[in-house]
Structure 1
Amino acid sequence: MKTNQIFLFLSLFIIVGAIAFYGGMKYQESNQRNNFLNNLKGGGAPGMLGRTTGQNGNRVGFRPVNGEIISTDDKSITVKMPDGSSRIVFINDKTIINKAETASREDLKLGVKVAVFGNMNTDGSMSAQNIQLNPINSRREN
């Protein structure tokens, strides 16, 4: 009799554990789907899933900066954004700069429209991973 009770308890424990595991997997799948869709609605990139938010609710990590170059030097450019604010963007040797074809730092001139993709720094500046010259969105604005 005691053996039957132990067997019954272990069987129920395993069944409840399996159901809980399955439920947790389904919950996580729905979370990932919702996060993906929320990132797309907010203009985020699919690779940003699970990233935390920073100041003003902006996502920390890979975010685009769009606007016009208003200042440039060897290590950075300053981009005036459509809302009138500006953002410092740091450039290094690994930063890819392109137009329809690959471009270089010499193509980063004042007045050029850009879309910058990279990681946001805690001070509000950005470290660029990719800079697109004359992006499609800025052409529609003109």
Structure 2
Amino acid sequence: MSFNYPADFDNVSYSVINSSNSSMELIGKLENSARFKVQTIWVDKNISAISPAEARDKLISVVKNLSKGEIVSTTSETNPNGVVVEKIIFTDEDSGSRERYCRMFFKINDSVYGIMIYGGKDTADKQKVIDNTANIIFQSIK
């Protein structure tokens, strides 16, 4: 599995947090700390038998149960490389600040992967930045 992302992201160290509630395990983390573009990309891989659609539905349920979570959109799209991607855009409030998230699930060679892009306050400018990063990733997943 591979994907492209904007050049101003850096690999960062991370700790794997195993949760009995999660079917996904973190395998990579990238961050962009440029002013007005602060965002993080999490990459994870399934550790159980879950399909991309099941992972999407599970996340939708979690977001709907958050006191301030809101689903913005859900789509199932095929990228130019023929990979079917389940995409969810949602917002949640953390420490008084509404944040935007874009989460994608897809299957490559019998493994299900997830990519999440998030960062900062959910403003119109931040939406454009996160949506642009998500589109670069979506178009290139293979």
TM range (shorter): under 0.3
Higher helix share: 1
TM-score by length of 1: 0.27
- Structure 1 or 2: more strand by fraction: 2
Return the structure number with greater relative CO, CA threshold 8 A, min gap 6. Answer: 2
Larger radius of gyration: 1
